[in-house]
Amino acid sequence: MNTKFYVYHDPKTCNHVFARSRVFVFEPVLASMMENGMAVPPADMPKFQLPSHAGVEEKDSASFVVANHKLWLRYLSGKSLENIMNVYTDLFYKTIESHLDLGTSAWQMVNLHELLRKLVFETSVATFFGPRIWKLWPKIWDDFNEFNKTTYIGVRTNAAYSFRPRARKARERMLLAFEEWINHDVAETWSEDDGEWNETWGTKLNWERELQARQFGFSRRGRACLHASFLFVAVVNALPLVAWFTWCATSSAERLERFLLEATKFMVPSGIHNRHKMQIHSTALKENAWVQGLWKEALRLGTAGAAARVVMETSELEGYLLQKGSVILMPAALMHYDERFFPDPDKVKPERWILGSEADAESVDLLQQRQRSLRPFGGGTGLCSGRFVAENEIIGIVSALLLLFDIKFEESWYQGYRFNPRSIGFMESMNEETAYLRRRKEHA
């Protein structure tokens, strides 16, 4: 068949690929991930593909993939996302109370990466799936970690779980738990009194996804795989990214001071909502130019993934003839470290994303080139639907933690961040980092 793998990293070429989502498609990549990583039953696999025999309009109306993507867009942006993040924030403060003593002003020693991972994981599970899943899956944290350690390869080949039987068993317990979780009556309408969340389904999004999956004829195991995959994508990148963003904000005294200065501007005037909680205008905070610059630097420097697309029509790209069925890989890191657009590419420089009031045309053009080169979430129809959730939760969690606590680190924290290559999207740390937290006097 003469099909091959092709690697491209020129921003213009990648933007060309992302803009032609019918020629360079994401659906086969998603289907492969679901088949290998989640062991979706064969009978349900065709639902993850756009029908090749149909026209464009028929594809859009007939495809589960398209309908599911529309749900992501509706709930994970705008007012719905704001309401979800309000629930997330309330649950975050309950989660932090279960891991730290908020009643003492003494220094507390913590494994920082483990603490941050648990805060994100437990808050995300409680927000998106509600309390029922915890009762059905008591080993949720241990099982997910075991599954996650293998899935960086498991999304590419199911054989990974044969070589790691503990991960295979953890995945099976996860899917059995979700089978029980969906073994529940699904009302045709959502009570307006519940807003965006209730204890039965967690977010309204998950209730509607379950209703939709039943309408598309998914098997019970297939529906369990759908929800388990949502848990996976909701936290797999957020877990390492929260630690990495924390490092970017705190690994220099100047950046930490600046971050606290900017975050303090967006506290509610009363400062403290109750003894252990503060209110921050997180939506406004993430739009702050310097905080947004820090966020983009964290995304730029920490991305490990490569966007993948399958060629559906024989096409020419950069002088090469790509046969139908070939696969294109676009490693984000090659774009993110391009010295043409990012001088000193290994340095954390939030300022590179900020235009001065008297910026000339060359500076404006360079910033636009940087924006086009920043691809942590892919692009086109495969653009990550949860990118706004990640932005809200990571910036919100880190700002709350740093405003609530004074923080000290071991010297190794300032000597660099060792990335773990066994990552899918954002790089985890190779190191366990000890930190010391103490309630700030004004918040004690």
* CATH number of the domain bearing residue 145: 1.10.630.10
As a whole number of angstroms, the distance between CA 196 and CA 219 comes to 26
Q: Indicate the range of 83-87, 177-181, 210-214, 419-423 predicted with least confidence.
A: 419-423
Calculate what percentage of the chain has a pLDDT beyond 70. Answer: 93
| pLDDT score recorded for residue 431 | 76
| pLDDT score recorded for residue 272 | 47
* Structural domain that includes position 347: 5-443
Confidence of residue 220 (pLDDT cuts 50, 70, 90): very high
pLDDT at residue 273 is higher than 60: no
| pLDDT score recorded for residue 276 | 58
| pLDDT score recorded for residue 275 | 53
The predicted model gives 233-242 an average pLDDT of: 89
The neighbour count for residue 30, using CB atoms within 10 Å, is 18
| pLDDT score recorded for residue 62 | 61
pLDDT at residue 442 is higher than 70: no
Tell which wins on pLDDT, 187 or 418. 187
- The answer to whether the beta carbons of residues 312 and 27 sit under 8 Å apart is no
Q: Indicate the range of 23-27, 163-167, 241-245, 412-416 predicted with least confidence.
A: 412-416
Mean pLDDT over each residue of the chain, to the nearest integer: 89
Segment 108-117, tens digit of pLDDT: 999 999 999 9
pLDDT at residue 54 is higher than 50: no
Count of domains in the chain? 1
Q: Residue 117 is which amino acid?
A: R
As a whole number of angstroms, the distance between CA 261 and CA 243 comes to 20
| Strands 315-317 vs 24-25: parallel, antiparallel or unpaired | unpaired
Confidence of residue 60 (pLDDT cuts 50, 70, 90): very low
Q: Indicate the range of 54-68, 78-92, 272-286, 398-412 predicted with least confidence.
A: 54-68
The predicted model gives 36-55 an average pLDDT of: 81
Calculate what percentage of the chain has a pLDDT beyond 90. Answer: 68
| pLDDT score recorded for residue 118 | 94
pLDDT at residue 28 is higher than 70: yes
